[in-house]
Amino acid sequence: MNPGEYVTPLVRKTTVMCPVVSGYTTARLMADDRTPPSLSGVGSPVSILATFHNVGNVAFSVKLRETDDRSISGTRFDLTANPVFLVPGGSTTQNISGLRAYLEVFCTGTTTGNLRLQLESQRRWNQLGFAKDDPFYAPQLFTAKEYPGPL
């Protein structure tokens, strides 16, 4: 071991602010680094401490899912066994274990709201954008609205 090097990487924090819309994925994250493959060929498990916080004024429920690639047709795997239900101003923390390089925030409830998600992990996560033709992204989030200006 060289001076200044750590045996394991330090914990990195990633904060995601996103709207949540019923039945849609509204945030995608990609890991900067790749974990070495395990015997199953997927990767070694990485522990993630996820803090969900409802910053809106409507209750909603979300799931954190993972996938192998950034395509819209890939298989999704739930990281949270049950949906996380959040009341306005509420928060909860879960310790989850992920294997894959892509995470998604999926709204399972019947309402819309605003979520702040903080991830603490040894992996570095970057938020990805969406294309307009992505069927899993809510169309009302990229449809432009015109508001009247001052009179």
Least confident of 35-39, 85-89, 95-99: 35-39
With pLDDT > 90 as the criterion, what percentage of the chain qualifies? 44
pLDDT number for residue 135:
77
- Look at residue 31 and tell me if it is in a domain: yes
Beta bridge partners of 121: 12, 48
| pLDDT tier for residue 74 given thresholds of 50, 70 and 90 | confident
- Look at residue 143 and tell me if it is in a domain: no
Assess contact for 122 and 9: CB atoms under 8 A: yes
Assess contact for 53 and 62: CB atoms under 8 A: no
pLDDT number for residue 120:
94
Is this structure's pTM higher than 0.85?
A: no
The label of the residue with tokens 């991830």 reads 119
CATH code, domain with 63 = 2.60.120
Q: What is the pLDDT of residues 31-62, one digit of tens each?
A: 887 655 555 555 578 889 999 999 999 999 99
Q: Structural domain tally of the chain?
A: 1
- Look at residue 81 and tell me if it is in a domain: yes
| pLDDT tier for residue 64 given thresholds of 50, 70 and 90 | very high
- Look at residue 91 and tell me if it is in a domain: yes
- Look at residue 107 and tell me if it is in a domain: yes
- Look at residue 140 and tell me if it is in a domain: no
Q: How many CA atoms lie within 13 A of 50 on its CB side?
A: 24
Q: How far is Cα 150 from Cα 145, in angstroms, rounded to an integer?
A: 16
Domain extent at residue 107? 18-126
- Look at residue 25 and tell me if it is in a domain: yes
- Look at residue 59 and tell me if it is in a domain: yes
